[in-house]
């Protein structure tokens, strides 16, 4: 029985956000740049950060990570955004979106009421990831999953706001690198 005052069928904002976030995680569950494990070739450089290198989280994402049994510490940056720090090892099912889409970033471009997704190699990854440093093409399946995940994020207002906010500095850096002639083409 529902508690008095909560109409049947009403979902809290947090539940709505979590529902979409779960779908995004599912879409990206097996996402990887190639069929072969690129980590074998580079000794998993993207997992080798220290306690200062964290992954920015989407709203409610911490809940999913905690429920999936991962071992993370959580904190906030000066803008009040939550991020997670890992030990350099995780069960794949507990990794956050930031890791699932790496080294791609789906750049949203809003024009005339429409939002289009342009996939780029994340300009922040150039210093770490050999794929990004060499402007290598990743698999079609990976690109399709990242694009689909980005579209899902845009369907839920809280996730959409967080996503657009996260995308701005990536866009600015990508544009800057384009001017220098070092950033990746659109994918
Ligand atoms: S750093 Fe790049 S190449 Fe290495 S494991 Fe991570 S995504 Fe793959
Ligand atoms: S959460 Fe997992 S995939 Fe992400 S950096 Fe840590 S060990 Fe690597």
Q: What are the average pLDDT values for consecutive 10-residue runs of the chain, which has 187 residues?
A: 50 92 97 93 86 86 90 90 91 94 96 91 94 94 98 97 95 91 64
Ligand 1 centroid, distance to 8 Cα (angstroms): 46
Query: Sign of the CA dihedral 136, 140, 141, 144?
Result: positive
Nearest CA to ligand 2 atom 1: 95
Phi and psi torsions of 39, nearest 5°: -65, -25
In this prediction, residue 70 carries a pLDDT of 77
Judged by its nearest atom, the ligand closest to the C-alpha of residue 100 is 2
Helices (H), 53-129: 61-67, 97-101
Nearest to 131 by CA among 150, 169, 105, 163: 105
Q: Which atom of ligand 2 has the smallest separation from the CA of 44?
A: 8
Ligand 1 centroid, distance to 61 Cα (angstroms): 22
In this prediction, residue 164 carries a pLDDT of 95
Q: By the 8 A CB rule, do 60 and 21 touch?
A: yes
Q: Which atom of ligand 1 has the smallest separation from the CA of 38?
A: 8
Nearest to 14 by CA among 84, 81, 64: 64
Please indicate whether residue 90, judged by its CB atom, sits closer than 6 Å to ligand 2. Answer: yes
Nearest CA to ligand 2 atom 4: 99
Please indicate whether residue 47, judged by its CB atom, sits closer than 6 Å to ligand 2. Answer: yes
CA atoms within 13 A on the CB side of 30: 5
Q: Are strands 72-76 and 104-111 parallel, antiparallel or unpaired?
A: unpaired
In this prediction, residue 10 carries a pLDDT of 61
**Element of type H or E holding 72:** strand 72-76
Give the pLDDT confidence of 122-151 residue by residue, as tens digits.
Answer: 999 999 999 999 999 999 999 999 999 999
């Amino acid at each position: 029985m529902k508690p008095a005052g909560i109409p049947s069928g009403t979902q809290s904002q947090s539940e709505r956000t979590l529902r979409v976030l779960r779908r995004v995680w599912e879409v990206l569950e097996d996402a990887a740049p190639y069929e072969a494990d690129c980590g074998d070739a580079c000794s998993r450089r993207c997992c080798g950060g220290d306690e200062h290198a964290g992954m920015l989280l989407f709203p409610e994402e911490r809940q999913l990570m905690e429920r999936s049994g991962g071992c993370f510490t959580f904190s906030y940056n000066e803008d009040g955004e939550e991020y997670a720090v890992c030990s350099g090892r995780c069960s794949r099912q507990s990794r956050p979106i930031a890791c699932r889409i790496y080294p791609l970033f789906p750049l949203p471009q809003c024009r005339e009421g429409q939002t289009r997704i342009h996939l780029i190699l994340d300009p922040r990854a150039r210093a770490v990831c050999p794929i990004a440093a060499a402007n290598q093409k990743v698999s079609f399946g990976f690109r399709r999953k990242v694009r689909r995940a980005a579209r899902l994020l845009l369907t839920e207002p809280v996730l959409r706001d967080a996503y657009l906010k996260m995308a701005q500095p990536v866009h600015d850096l990508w544009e800057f690198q384009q001017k220098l002639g070092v950033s990746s083409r659109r994918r």
